[in-house]
Amino acid sequence: MSCLSNPDLLVVGAGPAGLYAAIEAASAGLTTVIVDEGISAGGQLVKQTHKFFGNEDFFASVRGFDIARRLLKELSNMDHVHNLQESSVIGVYEDGIPVLHLPSDTTRLLQPERVIVATGASEKFLQFDNNDLPGVYGAGAVQTLMNQFGVMPGRNVLMVGSGNIGLIVSYQLIQAGVNVKAIVEIADRIGGYEVHANKAMRMGIPIMLRHTVIKAIGTESVEGAVICEVDENFRPVASTSQELAVDTICIAIGLNPSIELIAQAGGEVKYIPELGGYVPVRDDNMRSTAEAFFVAGDVSGIEEATTAMIEGRVAGLTVVKDLKGNTDLKKLESLKRELVAFRNGPTSARIREGLRKLGIVSSSKEHQYGNPNNPEKYMGKMRPVIECYEAIPCNPCETSCPTGAITVGENINDVPVIDYEKCNGCGICMTECPGLAVFMLRELPEEESALIGIPYELIPLPEKGEKVHLLGREGETLSDGVVQRVFKSPNKTHGVYVKAPAEIAGEVRGVSPVSKTDNTYVCRCEELTVQDVEKAINDGYTDFEELRRRLRISMGPCGGRTCRLNTLGMLSRKTGRPIEEFAPGVLRPPSIPATFRSIAGQEGAKDE
């Protein structure tokens, strides 16, 4: 038991940073105790269902919960590691560090040689009327319910904040079958990566810039939300307010580093807004100003899981050096270089500025922007169209390509460039891209159409031959098409290939099953939906009589009383011509459903 109460290393927090810190320390032979409050290890990884960015050495394109599984498996094979779950560090005291085991309500005093604080962060809270109402949840809470426990967080959600977390969670809500009414963003631009925003918009979620939430409606649970525009000083403009019928308000406005233990240990903390608020002062080996205490992950500045894992390893290797006198310096230096490389893109500008205030130098680089898409020479060849124009630290497209056709290059923040000569059109990049930003395209000029491959992560997965709606970049229906092929990928990002008219081939970026979404009827008798009528108008039937012959609209038992005016209105809106210019069609008898018996059986017309 002595190694449990006097370990070489105590790691507080079993998230990506803590687990990796423990792996480095334990594999060098240090006795290591991990303390974590959760019911199982993995921290926030266990509820991350999206594929990670970054490069393949750090689990790029692997989903978060799979990363947690792999790290835990690695740890379980190691000696010298004790993992205490459902346990909280109460504080840092002069005589040691008491750890409370929550289920038994008992404490145990630990006296470790070194401590790595990997306590993560907590949700920032937003001020608005009734913001304490049940149903106002942090984005992480929504993920926990939905992705860890499979419990629906609500039916209709308002998302507040368009940073990466707000965008990713919105998309995940759709995957769980929850409706996202809107994403409101107080700034005048979207906060997160462009590819994440595109994913959410493709699902038809409106992103309302310069908007915020000002009130939650309800008494014991959220029943609605009031949102409104803000002025240039971010103050709500009351006259613009509108009510949304939602049962959940999800707050995704950022995270606060959980620095309590470092402060109690005597470590200096400093307010650095670029890193999320108060953060521990530390060096590039992750050592705080309290000699025996290290930090790693979000507690040292809000960033993301890939850098958290690298920081955990840096801290772990440095503790090994402290206690054993030496460590794998080559590995340590290469990890620190990885951190610099990961952060040298434009999306890490804030992080670099924050680190600069801590005296940690990071470099930025100019980025090459290629235009990979669609040189005319390759028309008619099946090939990827990569809609990745923002320099973000990510390269699975490059590393997954079996023919070496895609290059991101040494600088992981560069955008991909594709060599269509080498590309064999396999579509693997489409299923590997964490941003779902790769589409496949092959023009079929003889048919005036094109084959388009769409990355798809929803259920049910459409089947070959199934009719689907073809959706544009904002989830709008452009036309209908038929699924030509389904490429099932083991990583659950599948490829759905559809045929679309040539003129919209560059616009189709999603598909949705016909039956599921299209229940908005224009014509009750013939069961014709808005999409059916719009599609016919788009196809060139711009006259009421033509539409009637094409769709049988107004030819059912109601005689057109229900649908005629609405159809004329749609024609008018679509064509820009006033309703009066359209002929309303001939009003033929019978004007009500009547049997031949009733007609033939009229008085005075008896045969006998």
Partner 1 sequence: MSRLAQHPVIEFVRGKKISFEFEGRKLGAFEGETVAAALHAEGIRYLRSSPGRQRAQGFFCAIGKCSSCLMEVDGMPNVRTCITLVRDGMVVRRQKGKGELLE
* List of residues contacting partner 1 (CB under 8 A): 37-39, 44, 49, 63, 65, 86, 88, 102-103, 105, 122-123, 125, 132-138, 140-141, 144-154, 175-177, 219-221, 258, 457-459, 461, 492
How far is residue 577's CA from residue 99's CA, in Å, rounded to a whole number?
A: 75
As measured in angstroms, the least distance from the Cβ of 521 to partner 1 is 28
Nearer to partner 1, 133 or 558 (CB): 133
As measured in angstroms, the least distance from the Cβ of 17 to partner 1 is 15
Which string of DSSP letters, residue by residue, matches 519-567? --EEETTTTEEHHHHHHHHHTT--SHHHHHHHH-TT-STTTTTTTHHHH
Say how many CA atoms lie within 13 Å of 16 toward its Cβ.
Answer: 26
Please name the residues in contact with 86: beta carbons below 8 A apart, sequence gap of 6 or more. Answer: 36, 37, 38, 39, 101, 102, 103
- DSSP-based three-state secondary structure for 581: helix
In three-state form (DSSP H/G/I as H, E/B as E, the rest C), the secondary structure along 323-387 is HHCCCCHHHHHHHHHHHHHHCCCHHHHHHHHHHHHCCCCCCCCCCCCCCCCCCHHHCCCCEEEEC
As measured in angstroms, the least distance from the Cβ of 152 to partner 1 is 5
As measured in angstroms, the least distance from the Cβ of 126 to partner 1 is 11
Nearer to partner 1, 163 or 585 (CB): 163
Nearer to partner 1, 141 or 558 (CB): 141
As measured in angstroms, the least distance from the Cβ of 228 to partner 1 is 23
Nearer to partner 1, 105 or 188 (CB): 105
What are the Cα distances from residue 409, in Å, to 279, 345, 395, 557? Answer: 33, 13, 9, 65
Nearer to partner 1, 86 or 328 (CB): 86
As measured in angstroms, the least distance from the Cβ of 258 to partner 1 is 7
Which string of DSSP letters, residue by residue, matches 113-148? SEEEE---EEE-----BTTTSTTEEEHHHHHIIIII
| 8 A C-beta contact, residue 417 and residue 370 | yes
As measured in angstroms, the least distance from the Cβ of 47 to partner 1 is 9
Q: 245-256: string of b/e by CB count within 10 Å (b at 16+)?
A: ebbbbbbbbbbb
Nearer to partner 1, 172 or 307 (CB): 172
User: Which amino acid makes up residue 139?
Assistant: A
As measured in angstroms, the least distance from the Cβ of 312 to partner 1 is 18
- DSSP-based three-state secondary structure for 298: helix
As measured in angstroms, the least distance from the Cβ of 143 to partner 1 is 8
Residues belonging to the chain: 608
Nearer to partner 1, 208 or 263 (CB): 263
What are the Cα distances from residue 14, in Å, to 113, 313, 314? Answer: 19, 13, 16
Q: Considering Cα of 339, then 345, then 348, then 354, what sign does the dihedral take?
A: positive
Q: Six-digit token pair at 536?
A: 């016919």
How far is residue 362's CA from residue 525's CA, in Å, rounded to a whole number?
A: 67
How far is residue 392's CA from residue 416's CA, in Å, rounded to a whole number?
A: 10
Place of tokens 């059912």: 556
How far is residue 354's CA from residue 341's CA, in Å, rounded to a whole number?
A: 16
Q: Six-digit token pair at 44?
A: 């926030």
Peptide bond just before 416 cis, omega within 30 deg? no
Nearer to partner 1, 86 or 545 (CB): 86
As measured in angstroms, the least distance from the Cβ of 224 to partner 1 is 15
As measured in angstroms, the least distance from the Cβ of 251 to partner 1 is 8
